[in-house]
Amino acid sequence: MRAAWVNAVGAVTPLGSCWRETRDALAAGRCAIGSIRSFDASGFPSRHAAAVDRDFSGEDRRTALALEAAREAWAAAGLDRQPPNPLKVGVFVGAESGRLPFSTVAALARAGGPGPVLDHARFSREAVSRARDLDSRLVSPAAVAARLVGELGARGPVATVSLACASGAAAIAEAARAVRQGECDVALAGGVGADVDPLMLAGFGLLGALSASGVSRPFDRRRDGFVLGEGAGMVVLSCEKGIARVAGIGRTLDAWSLTAPAPDGNGGLRAMRLALADAGLQSVDVVQAHGTSTPLNDAIEARAIRDALGDSLRSSHVSSIKGALGHTIAAAGALGFIAAVEAVVTGTVLPTVGLAEPDPDCALPHVVGRAVSRRVDSAMVNSFAFGGANCTLVVTRPE
């Protein structure tokens, strides 16, 4: 089986319009979280987010973010100058469904009538009249991949992975497997999240998952939930030797709860062990943790990391970029993967912004304050999602 190599990366985040800008800001310990300005968030469970301060002029926000990150990665890999055989180019994207304009949602809600019983006839008339003005590209999860396929002229395999917070990492896993198996020679893979909107803020608030303080503090004893973020991370994988290798893939399912991880952390632990075994490793130098800043998830993940790495953890470093970027949902695993690639390529281990008082229950060799510089031969990325989907990836230096 062939190796799957990382040839280039690209990202758009609230801290930068490209990966280099984002990396430099993350390394310096900057935080992108601030008050929500795109709509009136007063009265919501949280009024803070890490949003990309850009107006995409009516475009599907997910597609616009993904396109920018994809173009950066594609150009950095030199594929805009020397395009590969389109029949051997695949596109794998982690993306959730888009959202209708809030005004449309509100109008449809009113169309059902004022009483407790839905007025079907009235609702149908309003829905039909509204449907004529809707663009399916704004709501379909497949729309992002379709747009990227058109941009690249790809004619190989295409897939949209919709696994909530594990979407981006799982898309990269699928792309790496396709390259390994010869299904494609080049693959664009990653994830995009654009969930800073009223519906998502209300939904996550009802679940009790959001930080009331508006601060993301992964593994900190004061953590009280995650903060929504948005952005996109894309990588180019190929069968040609590149800057790092996708050495290990591990995917599991908790089968426990829609919103909570299994209390014993066994699903995440199994994903890590599978990825390490696939890579032929028992230890790694860096762990880019899922680290959402929720009380339950962080404690369970920390224990699973300790169980997976054992005594070798003493010589590792652990961090989570969600302290600075918030939780970008479908993009989170892809951005975490890019942070792991950065560690392997440059020896820069990015810090966990917001972590000041580590929780004893989350005892790990955390990177606090600013980035750490060291030799990194291997890095592991965790991405754990609602529904109990777990994806762990391991990247290594070229031999």
pLDDT for the residue 133: 64
Phi, psi of 373 (to 5 degrees): -105, 130
- Stated pTM of the model: 0.95
Domains of the chain: 5-99+139-396 (3.40.47.10), 102-138 (no CATH)
Label residue 317 exposed, middle or buried (CB < 10 Å: 0-12, 13-18, 19+).
Answer: buried
* Identified catalytic residue from 31, 327, 366, 391: 327
* Identified catalytic residue from 290, 317, 366, 391: 290
Catalytic residue check, 327: yes
Catalytic residue check, 48: no
Residue 275 to residue 3: CA distance in whole angstroms: 15
Nearest partner of 383 among 69, 167, 62, 229, judged by Cα: 167
Query: Radius of gyration of the chain from Cα atoms?
Result: 20
* Identified catalytic residue from 18, 165, 239, 362: 165
pLDDT for the residue 364: 98
pLDDT for the residue 344: 98
SS3 call for 373: strand
pLDDT truncated to tens, each residue of the chain (399 aa)?
A: 899 999 999 999 999 999 999 999 999 999 999 999 999 999 998 999 999 999 887 789 999 999 999 999 999 999 999 999 999 999 999 999 887 777 777 777 788 788 788 888 888 887 777 776 677 777 888 999 999 999 999 999 999 999 999 999 999 999 999 999 999 999 999 999 999 999 899 999 988 999 999 999 999 999 999 999 999 999 999 999 999 999 999 999 998 887 778 888 899 999 999 999 999 999 999 999 999 999 999 999 999 999 999 999 999 999 999 999 999 999 999 999 999 999 999 999 999 999 999 999 999 999 999 999 999 999 999 999 988 999 999 999 998
Catalytic residue check, 290: yes
